[in-house]
């Protein structure tokens, strides 16, 4: 039995940071749900491989290269998506970077880069697509926050950005709800990606050992994988999630032990 939505509920979605990891998994899941997916990342060539895989599986996808922190780039990207796939009414703000360091070692550039991609990028993307959503009377904005929003040593910039996304999400929910637009955030725990592998390398630990150490403190006794976030995104993007807005869903395997 197909899990795809009814044809009239198949819409155009944009997933940022979709060339790999969580973003790629979300793009694949939304395409499997029947949506037309714009696979957006800084590198269009990397996006294309994800889009090609979706198309080969019978889905509809379009690769878009854009810098989410640049206003003109975002405007052009959304125009391109509208022309290629139709009005974008599902937005997943997943693009992100890390520049971890202790506060006294953190440069202004490290702070600004993280803020620009996570917060400014989400703002620019949401502002650009909201007109399509309000015109359609339907919209789903899903912002990727993190458990680090609660604070994490060596991640003052990242934690501040992810906490800011939660406030941003709630404000969007209040502003746009009357137009049929919901806004929610997903806060992943430890997810097995290239980014977390890089963290293990930075601290000089084998990645498998690192994952085992982390899993020991997770109630479900495993680390997360990108598909865990994709499943949650699928629900929040669905027609049936229309009464869920302004929420932060922690997908972290349970509370900290």
Other beta carbons within 10 Å of 91? 30
Cα dihedral sign for 244, 256, 161, 226? negative
Query: What token pair was written down for 192?
Result: 């097995």
The CA distance from 98 to 31, in Å, is 28
Place of tokens 């977390």: 196
Q: Please, what sign has the CA dihedral across residues 54, 58, 64, 69?
A: negative
Please state, in angstroms and rounded to a whole number, the distance separating the CA atoms of residues 44 and 62. Answer: 10
Catalytic residue annotation: 158
Element (H, E) at 138: none
CA gap 148, 230 in Å, rounded: 19
Distance from C-alpha of 63 to C-alpha of 56, rounded to nearest angstrom: 14
Residue whose C-alpha is closest to residue 74's, from 62, 82, 85, 66: 66
Does an H or E element contain 22, and which? helix 21-32
Classify burial at 208, counting beta carbons within 10 Å of its beta carbon; exposed 0-12, middle 13-18, buried 19 or more: exposed
Whether residue 95 contacts residue 47, with contact meaning beta carbons closer than 8 Å, is answered with no
């Amino acid at each position: 039995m197909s899990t795809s939505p009814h044809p009239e509920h198949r819409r155009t979605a944009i997933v940022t940071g979709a060339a790999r990891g969580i973003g790629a998994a979300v793009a694949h899941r939304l395409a499997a749900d029947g949506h037309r997916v714009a696979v957006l990342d800084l590198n269009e060539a990397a996006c294309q491989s994800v889009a090609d895989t979706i198309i080969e599986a019978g889905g509809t996808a379009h690769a878009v290269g854009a810098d989410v922190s640049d206003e003109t780039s975002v405007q052009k990207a959304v125009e391109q998506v509208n022309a290629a796939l139709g009005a974008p009414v599902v937005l997943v703000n997943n693009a992100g970077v890390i520049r971890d360091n202790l506060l006294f070692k953190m440069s202004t550039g490290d702070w600004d880069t993280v803020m620009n991609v996570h917060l400014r990028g989400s703002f620019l993307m949401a502002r650009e697509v909201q007109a399509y959503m309000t015109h359609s009377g339907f919209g789903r904005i899903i912002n990727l926050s993190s458990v680090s929003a609660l604070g994490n040593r060596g991640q003052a910039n990242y934690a501040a950005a992810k906490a800011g996304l939660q406030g941003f999400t709630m404000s969007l929910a209040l502003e746009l709800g009357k137009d049929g637009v919901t806004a929610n955030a997903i806060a992943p725990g430890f997810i097995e990606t290239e980014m977390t592998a890089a963290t293990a390398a930075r601290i000089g630990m084998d990645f498998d050992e690192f994952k085992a150490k982390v899993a020991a403190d997770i109630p479900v006794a495993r680390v997360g994988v990108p598909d865990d976030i994709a499943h949650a995104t699928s629900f929040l993007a669905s027609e049936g999630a229309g009464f869920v807005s302004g929420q932060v869903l922690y997908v972290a395997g349970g509370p900290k032990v």
